[in-house]
Structure 1
Amino acid sequence: MNKTQTQAVKDFFSKNNTFVIVQADNPDGDSLTSALAIGRIIESLDKTAYQFCSVKIADYLSYIDDQSTVSSQFPPDFDASIIVDASAKVLFENLEKSRKFGLLAGKPCLVIDHHSNECDLEFATIVYQKTAVSASQLVAEISKIIGAKLDLTTKELITIGILSDSLGLVSEATDSAAVRLIADYIDDGVSLAKLDNLRRETYRKSPEIIKYKAKLLDRIEYWADGQVSTVVIPWNEIQTYSNEYNPSMLVIEEMRQAIGVNLAVAFKIYPDRITAKLRSNYGIRVCDKIAEKFGGGGHPYASGFKIKGRNTDVKELTDKVIVEYLRLIKDD
């Protein structure tokens, strides 16, 4: 970021007093913590921050401080907006349907994102987008630019975001800057043991969810000589179990840990669309490319996409994903 852009970020925070912080339609640990962290930074400047997300924050993230402040109701008035952990319009379908994009377009907007896709949000006035393991890491950088002092809770939020997207600092995208930042925060009082214990408590599952997980594991299918594993989750199961736990997240890690598997894909069947969550093993950097083929995006080892429409055949979609995977593997 050059001096002009740095000054633009400083001006964005100094010249506006009321902000709405927006997450994409499918929030995860990093998007939630980066939103909450930037909100606390704004409040430390004696300004007002509203938290908005069009969907309910998942129960498995309930251990994160301040998550209850996120609302699905758009604030009546604000000076500027901040979009975190996303820069692709396709990730804001609900916001677009509600015509709230128009409210963002007329005011200053800062986008904070660590994904590699080009930002296509035409109304964004400042795009803070660079390579990093998480959006939370970029929030920490912005706090330094504007001279904000972080309290312990804000440092804990940033730490959770980095740990979430780096899979505990072991992902290929983890860099020394992220490790140094967490080390500094540990010196300042952040306890990794405390944060991990809180996370584990919310990951505890009811007997019903354990039984359902067993059914999902039994439904896993293997393709391409065992290199690709898939599971299909129908709408009635999404309705029944999603409030307690995201069905795809129950099994996708086990799916990719099977011997011989390189890519795991969980399909969820909604009345008007199919979504896919992709995870790959180390060295198989294909998830983002496969997702982009179908209009989605993400990271080399974790990504997702959705196909709109009521008549999409999941078997045909599976075949197409496998073909794209095999093409990418062959090219590599």
Structure 2
Amino acid sequence: MYEQLLSRIQQCSTIGVTSHFRPDGDAIGSTLGLGLALQSLGKKVYMWNEDGVPARYSFLEGAEQILPLPEEVPADLEMLICVDTGDWKRLGDRSQLLFAEFPLIVNIDHHGTNTRYGHMQVIEPETAACAFVLFNMLKSWGVNFTKPMAEALYVGINTDTGSFQYGSTTPEVMHAAGELLAAGVDVADVNRRVYQEIPYTALLMQREVLNHMVVECGGALSHYSMPAGRKAELGVGLEDTKDLVDVVRVLQGVRVAVIFEDLDDGRIRVSLRSKDPAVSVAAIASQFGGGGHAMASGIRMRGELADCRERVLNAIRKELQA
């Protein structure tokens, strides 16, 4: 499939690359890494994200090229590549409308629950990161990794493996990381910027979670719920709520961790993590229209916070008691 995609790319002059809303390190790293690689192949490249680049990833060279969505699809755009996006809906409301009729959409992803949207797909389920898929693909194309390209892909792989802590960290993943380091990645600098420069408001949010988290099922289930308006009361922003599920996940004895967040627009965002291979949060998420990985998944639900929370928690309790 790598060669088929390269053949189609060679027929295009202008290509767009985008990823899911509320982008994480893999979304940004994959967008930027692929975008820079396509530029090295002589292509004109548009890079977009509906929510922009989170501050913690803005240090990446070339990140300023990832722009907000345009008002209209550029007349010269010939191919749109969606990376790290398991479902068309995850691109965001505006993106779905903007590109609804676009004739050539490529879906490159690593989520086991990918819905296989688009006209071409390169999907490698349950691999470490979309950036790892791209590393292998670009390497097969003979792309020479520049330092900016390597840093972007490294950030994608590093963040989606929990800094190489998760079970998806295979020998092949570590070998890829080593090759990216050899291309110029400054590991100490990347880790400092991504993990060791947390805004004060994000720490306030973590304190809020620790003060109000709930632990049940004999310590196997931990969760926190953020009601509507709470972010405004605390003076925190959208980016400060990123990765909060890790705060409740690391508690000793926890098998499943969940964050429920009222988005103030009638929707509830649910982030799920499993530490037990016997409990797939992807299977739980799929019951409510969500998806992701066995150990990390998400849901967007419509309804009241309390009702959505109980429905999801009941499904988790059932799995934990099985």
TM-score (norm 2): 0.89
Which one of 211, 218, 221 corresponds to residue 218 of structure 1?
A: 211
CA contact (8 A) 1:290 1:324 kept: yes
- Structure 1 residues 73, 324: CA separation in 2 closer, same or farther (over 3 Å shift)? same
Which one of 4, 8, 12 corresponds to residue 8 of structure 2?
A: 12
Matched, 1:300 2:294: yes
Which one of 4, 22, 27 corresponds to residue 26 of structure 1?
A: 22
Q: Distance in 2 between matches of 1:163 and 1:304?
A: 20
Once the two structures are TM-superposed, the CA of residue 21 in structure 1 deviates from its matched residue by 0.6
Aligned to 2:130: 135
Aligned-partner SS, 1:148: coil
- Structure 1 residues 300, 6: CA separation in 2 closer, same or farther (over 3 Å shift)? closer
Aligned-partner SS, 1:241: coil
Once the two structures are TM-superposed, the CA of residue 37 in structure 1 deviates from its matched residue by 0.5
Q: Which amino acid aligns with 1:325?
A: I
Unaligned runs of 5+ in 1: none
Identity over aligned pairs, percent: 19
CA contact (8 A) 1:233 1:248 kept: no
Higher alpha-carbon deviation: 294-303 or 34-43 = 294-303
CA contact (8 A) 1:284 1:301 kept: no
Matched, 1:170 2:161: no
Aligned to 2:81: 82
Within a 5 Å distance, the mapping from 1:112-261 to structure 2 comes to 112-121=108-117, 124-131=118-125, 132-201=127-196, 203-206=197-200, 208-239=201-232, 240-243=235-238, 245-247=239-241, 249=243, 251-261=244-254
Once the two structures are TM-superposed, the CA of residue 103 in structure 1 deviates from its matched residue by 4.2
CA contact (8 A) 1:21 1:83 kept: yes
CA contact (8 A) 2:31 2:83 kept: yes
Aligned to 2:94: 95
Which one of 31, 44, 60 corresponds to residue 35 of structure 1?
A: 31
Cα shift readout 1:10-66 (whole Å, capped 9, x = no counterpart): 212110010111111231100110010010011101211111111133223333332
CA contact (8 A) 2:56 2:193 kept: no
CA contact (8 A) 2:53 2:63 kept: yes
CA contact (8 A) 2:268 2:301 kept: yes
Q: Distance in 2 between matches of 1:53 and 1:189?
A: 26
Higher alpha-carbon deviation: 280-289 or 174-183 = 280-289
TM-score (norm 1): 0.87
Q: Which amino acid aligns with 1:184?
A: E
Aligned-partner SS, 2:52: coil
Aligned to 1:269: 262
Cα shift readout 1:44-100 (whole Å, capped 9, x = no counterpart): 012111111111332233333322222222352301110000131231341356x21
CA contact (8 A) 1:111 1:129 kept: yes
Aligned-partner SS, 2:191: helix
- Structure 1 residues 282, 81: CA separation in 2 closer, same or farther (over 3 Å shift)? same
Aligned to 1:317: 308
Q: Distance in 2 between matches of 1:226 and 1:318?
A: 18
Aligned-partner SS, 1:266: strand
Once the two structures are TM-superposed, the CA of residue 204 in structure 1 deviates from its matched residue by 2.6
- Structure 1 residues 188, 61: CA separation in 2 closer, same or farther (over 3 Å shift)? closer
- Structure 1 residues 58, 233: CA separation in 2 closer, same or farther (over 3 Å shift)? farther
Q: Distance in 2 between matches of 1:154 and 1:232?
A: 38
Count residues with an aligned counterpart.
Answer: 315
Higher alpha-carbon deviation: 296-305 or 252-261 = 252-261
- Structure 1 residues 14, 90: CA separation in 2 closer, same or farther (over 3 Å shift)? same
Aligned to 2:284: 290
Aligned-partner SS, 1:255: helix
Once the two structures are TM-superposed, the CA of residue 299 in structure 1 deviates from its matched residue by 1.4
Once the two structures are TM-superposed, the CA of residue 148 in structure 1 deviates from its matched residue by 2.1
Matched, 1:329 2:320: yes
Once the two structures are TM-superposed, the CA of residue 186 in structure 1 deviates from its matched residue by 2.4
Q: Distance in 2 between matches of 1:44 and 1:27?
A: 24
Q: Which amino acid aligns with 2:47?
A: Q
CA contact (8 A) 2:146 2:183 kept: no
Once the two structures are TM-superposed, the CA of residue 328 in structure 1 deviates from its matched residue by 2.5
Q: Distance in 2 between matches of 1:62 and 1:93?
A: 21
Q: Distance in 2 between matches of 1:315 and 1:223?
A: 16
- Structure 1 residues 233, 60: CA separation in 2 closer, same or farther (over 3 Å shift)? farther
Q: Distance in 2 between matches of 1:19 and 1:315?
A: 44
CA contact (8 A) 1:52 1:72 kept: yes
CA contact (8 A) 1:23 1:52 kept: yes
